[in-house]
Amino acid sequence: STAAASRDEGARWPPSPGEPVGGGRGRAGHARSRNYVSESDVCKLESVPLDFGDYHPLKPITVTESKTKKMSRKGSTSSTSSSSSSSMMDPLSSVLDGTDPLSLFAAAADPVITTATMDNTRKKRDKDDSSAVGSDFEPWSSKRGEILARYTTTEKLSIVSGKATTTGSAVSEKVRTRLEELDDLEEGSQKELLNLTQQDYMNRIEELNQSLKDAWSSDQKVKALKIVIQCSKLLSDTTVIQFYPSKFVLITDILDTFGKLVYERILSMCMDNRVSLSDNFSPESVNDTAKETCLNWFFKIASIRELIPRFYVEAAILKCNKFLSKTGISECLPRLTSMIRGIGDPLVAVYARAYLCRVGMEVAPQLKESLNKNFFDFLLTFKQIHGDTVQNQLIVQCVEIPLYLTLYSPAIDWILQCIAYRAPEVLLTEMMERCKKLGNNALLLNSVMSAFRAEFIAARSMDFIGMIKECDESGFPKHLLFRSLGLNLALADPPENDRLQILNEAWKVITKLKNPQDYINCAEVWVEYTCRHFKKREVNTVLADIIKHMTPDRAFEDAYPQLQSIIQKVITYIYDFSLLFSVEKFLPFLDMFQKENVRVEVCKCIMESFIKHQQESTKDPVILNALLHICKTMHDSVNALTLEDEKRMLAALINGFIKMVSFGRDFEQQLSFYVEARSMFCNLEPVLVQLIHSVNQLAMETRKVMKGNHSRKTAAFVRACVAFCFITIPSLSSIFTRLNLYLHSGQVALANQCLSQADAFFKAAVSLVPEVPKTISIDGKMRPSDAFLLEFLCNFFSTLLVVPDHPEQGVLFLVRGLLNVIQDYTWEDNSDDKVRIYTNVLHLLSAMTQETYIYHVDKVDSNDTLYGGDSKFLAEINKLCETVIAQILDHLKTLGKEETLKRQSQLALYLFNTILAHGDLRNNKLNQLSVNLWNLAQKHGFADTKTMVKTLEYIRRRSKQPEMSHFADLALRLPLQSRT
């Protein structure tokens, strides 16, 4: 039916005859005879041998300026300079100090290329920062979120709120009023808010933080201090003990805010002529007013009666000691450390020590002695944890000792992190000895392993395992200690001789865990160690053990994040997929992912790894079957609600797999794989498009192997490939994708001498053109389709040059059919695309009249061979040319209105250039037509003068060639009109 329709359309072109062009149509369609070889030779650039020597365009230009004696002249001064690469100084190089921009970027990325100046700057900076905390120190801000999320409570909380007071306005009463307010605060004028939920409590703390900022900004400094004291007092309250770490985080945020406000306030008072102090200022450069204000703050804080708020508030403004003396901070730190000894509750005390370490690392990280003393004080009081006071408190609150001990972890971890930062290895030895003296306390041991460098821990792995074995498990489970050890071993390698023993010792403990969550948390860490240091047998054993523990009661459903992490680690270390899929328990492990969205994420992860690491194509049946199953899982997750971005990502992963599959010379097996893939991935259009391209490539590879001479078997095979494409393309929804694939597949069929199949593709494309919508969606936006259709049709016409006519159809059957479709297509009213297409058709028809075409398809006879310059064939082409020109001229007439004159000028010049390039201008009628078009292009002043001048120069230059002498007469008939 398609062929019949095309046949009917082909019979209608040309349309009804019109008036003769330029006073008589006659031979107006005559094309110029072309010699493509000689034209190509003329157009080639002359090859000139170049000796670059040491020159390279991307090599940095080194400019050396040599100053000579200045030659003075009245009103002017000159100097000369010389360059290593040129006698003249490059202006760009002078701006860039002799270095081009690419070299500058490279220098920024590569330290080897940096200049001496940059090296000196870096050395100076490194020297300045040697005592500061570097980027390798994990800041407190990265820990606070984890603490808030981990230490929560459902119990009711209480908070003390101070009553609102106003400051006295009289200057004479200022001091008395402030003292009264502080006394009022100390003597319990606050009201207690009871029965707050955790969220209410956090909201109230946030309100206090905001109140502090508001009071400060309104110059109510005493009120701000009252708020800070009130908040600090809350840190002595342990009534809801499991919430204490989170409370510490929230309240120290307020203290940090207060410390920053006080410091900036005093710093602003040091400004001299609006110039602030440098970062490393000395106390001598601080004026007396700032020093007095700073002392006033410290005196106010010293008058706070209660120990805990006095300690915390002074610690918050510890940095302000810099304004008073060089040794102020180093003197205050030991005193504040000793103050903590007066705090009776060990939990409150350890968090006070943690806060002091926080402030100390910020203002004086070089004073490690005070930090060490702080921690050793904690070790001396560690036995308080098991004292009667604490035990009675835990009984009242119904808190078990293992839970209570975990409350210490954030504080101890932080203190040890501060102590261990850039510490020598000998300090770890000292810490291990102290742990042994305390009976290998598990809580302390865990923090030591978390704080010190992984290399130090890994080197002593067997020592730590021995200490873990001797720990008392009642307070802190041993599996958490093995988890901490495993985290270190994931970052650093233990001694090679100990590796198997370490794994055995750890797994002995892990495999005995009954709680699935405890088990998987440890197994997740040790899988990485196993994959890193052992082969598939050990990995398989570990995976089997995980399946054994996580399958009963569907425990895996609560552990998907850990299981995903395990998969990620396995494929990170085993990226040889033939080895990976030979791990017997790998695919059964995948079966535990039964929640669809998690399963798809895991499949995506595996496919990304395959595409990243698979360097060579594969035909391994184990890999193919496993990855087809994984790709099928991804494909089947697509439904009506799937986002386009998600579809695009899934399709890209599946396409990456398809491209990596190769059966070598077994082309039939390759085609069978593509057929199977088509049936499996039919819902993802980009995958179908890739399959069509792959099959076309397969057909061309077959042609290459056979060197274009197909046997009966290979001819049948390429026809099968063509058939695959022909029946797959109609299932695609994008109309331009279908059009381009019809054209591409037709070209492949033509190259493989499948002429009837090529005709079928081209006819299908012709039949599809009328269905092209006026607008199409591009990146989510609707765009006019005319430009895309114009591009496609130009490509189509270029292909039709070499397509031979069907023996049972008329001359130029496909060209006529396509022209009929273009004629009937509804173009936009303000569009000239139809005329531009017709003009391009003239290029095609001109090429078709040549004795030998400009290009051919190997072993396919085009019309130049079939017709051999037959006069009837040329007459048909000329008739077609006349009709096309008539259609263009009719359109030019319709553009005679004032608002379309510019378009008329452009199209007239476009047609003129086409006739100039392709027409035989010795034909009088065609010559006259070109003159008329030239005049029309300039008639209303819309022609670009420069373009017209250059065109005329080109004609005059061509007229000097022997076969183009008639261009001289033409040039005389082409006047240049000025816009005036």
The CA–CA distances, whole Å, from 310 to 302, 415, 664 equal: 7, 21, 80
Say if CB 297 and CB 228 are below 8 A apart: no
Tokens of 440: 């290998």
Say if CB 385 and CB 349 are below 8 A apart: no
- pLDDT at position 56: 66
Give the model confidence (pLDDT) of 298-314 as tens digits: 998 998 889 999 999 99
31 DSSP assignment: B
Most confident of 75-89, 257-271, 793-807: 793-807
Give the model confidence (pLDDT) of 594-653 as tens digits: 999 999 999 999 999 999 998 899 999 999 999 999 999 999 999 989 899 999 999 999
- pLDDT at position 160: 59
507: confidence class by pLDDT, cuts 50, 70, 90: very high
Whether 259 has a pLDDT exceeding 80, the answer reads: yes
Whether 5 has a pLDDT exceeding 90, the answer reads: no
∠484-489-492 over CA atoms, to 5°? 135
Give the model confidence (pLDDT) of 150-181 as tens digits: 888 877 777 755 543 333 333 345 545 554 55
The torsion angle over the Cα atoms of residues 89, 92, 97 and 100, rounded to 10 degrees, is: -120
Q: Which residue has the tokens 């001229």?
A: 889
Amino acid at 15: P
Give the model confidence (pLDDT) of 964-973 as tens digits: 888 889 999 9
State the number of CA atoms in the 13 A half-sphere of 479 facing the CB: 21
Q: In the predicted model, what is the mean pLDDT of residues 407-423?
A: 87
- pLDDT at position 829: 78
What angle, 0 to 180 degrees and rounded to 10, lies between the N-to-C axes of helices 244-269 and 307-316? 50
Give the model confidence (pLDDT) of 752-770 as tens digits: 999 999 999 999 999 999 9
Distance (Å, rounded) from C-alpha 873 to C-alpha 864? 10
Ordered by where they begin, the domains of the chain are 663-771 (1.25.40), 899-979 (no CATH)
3-state secondary structure 817-880: HHHHHHHHCCCCCCCCHHHHHHHHHHHHHHHHCCCCCCCCCCCCCCHHHHHCCCHHHHHHHHHH
- pLDDT at position 712: 94
The CA–CA distances, whole Å, from 711 to 722, 750, 752 equal: 16, 16, 11
Distance (Å, rounded) from C-alpha 716 to C-alpha 692? 18
961: confidence class by pLDDT, cuts 50, 70, 90: confident
Beta strands in 607-658 (DSSP E): none
Q: Which helix (H) or strand (E) holds 810?
A: none
Which residue, 329, 312, 311, is CA-closest to 320? 329
Q: Does residue 158 sit in helix, strand or coil?
A: strand
Distance (Å, rounded) from C-alpha 206 to C-alpha 204? 5
Give the model confidence (pLDDT) of 340-353 as tens digits: 989 888 999 999 99
Distance (Å, rounded) from C-alpha 189 to C-alpha 565? 54
- Residue-averaged pLDDT of the chain: 83
In the chain, DSSP finds a helix count (H) and a strand count (E) of 46, 6
**β 71-73/76-78 pair status:** antiparallel
Q: Which residue has better confidence, 64 or 838? A: 838
Q: Which helix (H) or strand (E) holds 782?
A: strand 781-784
Amino acid at 240: V
323: confidence class by pLDDT, cuts 50, 70, 90: confident
